[in-house]
Structure 1
Amino acid sequence: MRLTSVIGGRNPAHATGVGKVLLAERYRDRGGFDDWVGARSLTARTQATVTNADALWRELELCRARGYALDEQESEVGVECIAVPIALHVPGRIDGAVSVSAIAVRTSVSSLIRRIDEIRDELGSLAVDFSRT
């Protein structure tokens, strides 16, 4: 399987797990989010990409509530991802995210979710819980 993402590459924030974590942290109120979306087109990278502002806002709220974001083949067909917020500079202050991606036919998004505690444990003190920020 060939992936289009590359180290240092860029993808639309609304279509990736890391992007959703960062959007969920930056836009905690609907007004700021609506200002960001504005007349912007939320482009579809796959048929699963969320392109509706209301649906994306609900996804960001869910991300904050559960403490992680998902990319369920939204950026790349056949690839699923779970992303968790991290603090690199100030403990407890979200300023980044780390994602674990998997080929969907080998590792389902539900199995990634089941391993969220293990993922957070691997990140140690870098991992941040949205509900505490």
Structure 2
Amino acid sequence: MTARRATHEDRGDDEAPEAEDDHGGVHEDRARGRVGQPVEEPAAGLGKAVLATRDTAGVERLLPRDLVALTPGTNTDHDALLRELAQVRRDGYAVDRSENSADVQCYAVAIVPRHSAVVTDAVSVSVPLFRHTDELAAQTIARLLEVNDRLRKVS
């Protein structure tokens, strides 16, 4: 099982885009990873979205014994992760709260194919925390769920 992500590097850009925050600071907008590169599934929105399509026993078989902390916010507690995946199942989307990349919030949905029981892919949107608002989060989640509905009709 591999979740995949796109970054500015995959578009051929040499440098990550920079943006000024409300306090005059400049931040580099660089996501960890590249298209086709596996991500640390339990720490990433993409991985959580895919993992949540499996039942608890299936998730437990896939998880490593020790969950690796990629940032100070990474959840390394198995029981807490299982509770979070149950929430993802209820909501239909996953949230990465600076767990995979510091200072980035990510929203993701699994792409559930019509003709297969195995889910291996997800789509996500990452937002630097200095740009994050509740309104942007709600819009992002709504768009991801809409895209997911469209993808289910064609996949």
* TM-score over 0.5 for the pair: yes
Deviation at 1:7, TM superposition (A): 2.2
Structure 2: runs of 5+ lacking an equivalent: 1-27
- Give the secondary-structure state (helix, strand or coil) at the position aligned to 2:65: coil
Match of 2:46 in 1: 18
Deviation at 1:120, TM superposition (A): 2.6
- Give the secondary-structure state (helix, strand or coil) at the position aligned to 2:53: helix
Matches within 5 A, 1:35-50: 35-37=61-63, 40-50=65-75
Aligned length: 124
Deviation at 1:102, TM superposition (A): 1.1
Using structure 1 for the length normalisation, give the TM-score: 0.78
The structure with the larger Rg is 2
Match of 2:81 in 1: 56
Q: 1:112 to 1:88 in 2, by over 3 A?
A: farther
Superposition RMSD on alpha carbons, in Å? 2.5
Q: Which runs of 4+ in 1 moved over 4 A?
A: 91-95
Match of 2:93 in 1: 68
Using structure 2 for the length normalisation, give the TM-score: 0.68
Equivalent residue in structure 2 for 1:7, among 35, 44, 54: 35
Structure 1: runs of 5+ lacking an equivalent: 129-133
Identity %: 34
Q: 1:66 to 1:7 in 2, by over 3 A?
A: same
